[in-house]
Amino acid sequence: MKDLLHITDLSADDLTMLLELATGFQDDPGSGGHLLTHRMVPMYFAKPSTRTRLSTAAAVTRLGGTPIAVGPDELQLRRGETIGDTARVMGAYSAAIVIRTFADADVRELASATPVPIVNALTDGHHPLQAVADLLTVQQHFGRLRGHRIAYSGDGGNVARSLMEAAALAGMDVAIATPPGYAPPDEAVAFTAAEADRNGGGFVLTTDPAEAVKGASVVYTDVWLSMGDPEENQERRRKALTPYRVDENLMALAGDDAVFMHCLPAHRGQEVTAGVIDGARSLVFQQAANRLPAAQAVLFALLTERLDGRP
């Protein structure tokens, strides 16, 4: 495997290895610090970013390299240069390329045009770096992943998709609650169900957030609205997703030791109440901090060909 475009690129063993690497980088941030000496990693961001941009830049720096963040206005893409041509040029200068953009097809085209590793830093369909950091956070808090139920309430978009796929690979019990019409794609559901069964976990897809959250160790949600959505679509989404807000009453249905997670940025009063996200059970800032060792682990694994069973 050359790239990490989505969680389904990984096997269960790959995911375990990434979590072990990330834990090691937390304990010794400078280990592997010469891997990228005198090498550059461009980070292309077509969407705004706080955690992903800063954590990935820090990960490249910890590995001894130079991160360079660029946007669409700084390259020739806006003037008609193709993604393939851009990829070939960037690949000639770079050890790896990190990309945050809209269409998954653009990331696949980038990956097919250059031999260097491509890391998906978020697309409309996937957010694999977030999912690795999420499971790292759960593992740190509880000491293990198997035997714990992770429940997601809200829109079944990119964050929910990568989270459920990763949790299934890890053998967790996965419960996803979304309104009708907001469920994850069928292929993500099929993958999650199959991998949860294969790895000793379970999978529930429901429209009832109470059913999903009952007895859960982790309750997770994400924002309801995307930038640029027309006002009529925003209002429709608010109406559909309001019953899926994570509040104190929903958290009370989870396990006694349950924690709350959110990938951030958050909108208090929409998808989560302030009392939950700012409360003692919230791990959101630990999640955010874990984006750094997660990115470091992914880059290290791809650049040393440790994924897919290679040494």
Q: What is the 3-state secondary structure (H, E, C) of 229-297?
A: CCHHHHHHHHHHHHHHCECHHHHCCCCCCCEEEECCCCCECCCECHHHHCCCCECHHHHHHCHHHHHHH
Strands of 97-100's sheet, edge to edge?
A: 66-70, 40-45, 97-100, 118-120
- Taking the mean position of all CA atoms in its chain, how far away is CA 106? 18
Active site residue 149: no
Per annotation, catalytic residue among 139, 263, 287, 296: 263
Is residue 245 within 8 Å of residue 276, measured between CB atoms? no
- Taking the mean position of all CA atoms in its chain, how far away is CA 58? 17
Active site residue 100: yes
- Taking the mean position of all CA atoms in its chain, how far away is CA 170? 15
Burial label, 215 (beta-carbon count in 10 A; 0-12, 13-18, 19+):
middle
Per annotation, catalytic residue among 51, 262, 291, 296: 291
Per annotation, catalytic residue among 222, 245, 262, 296: 222
Residues in the chain: 311
Report the helix count and the strand count for the chain, using DSSP H and E: 13, 9
d(CA 303, CA 301): 6
Active site residue 197: no
Per annotation, catalytic residue among 130, 139, 287, 296: 130
Active site residue 127: yes
Active site residue 306: no
d(CA 103, CA 24): 33
Per annotation, catalytic residue among 127, 148, 149, 245: 127
Per annotation, catalytic residue among 51, 62, 100, 245: 100
d(CA 135, CA 283): 12
Active site residue 222: yes
Find, among 117, 240, 223, 226, the residue nearest to 160 by Cα: 223
- The radius of gyration of the chain's CA atoms, rounded to the nearest angstrom, is 19
> Which residues have a catalytic role annotated?
100, 127, 130, 222, 263, 291
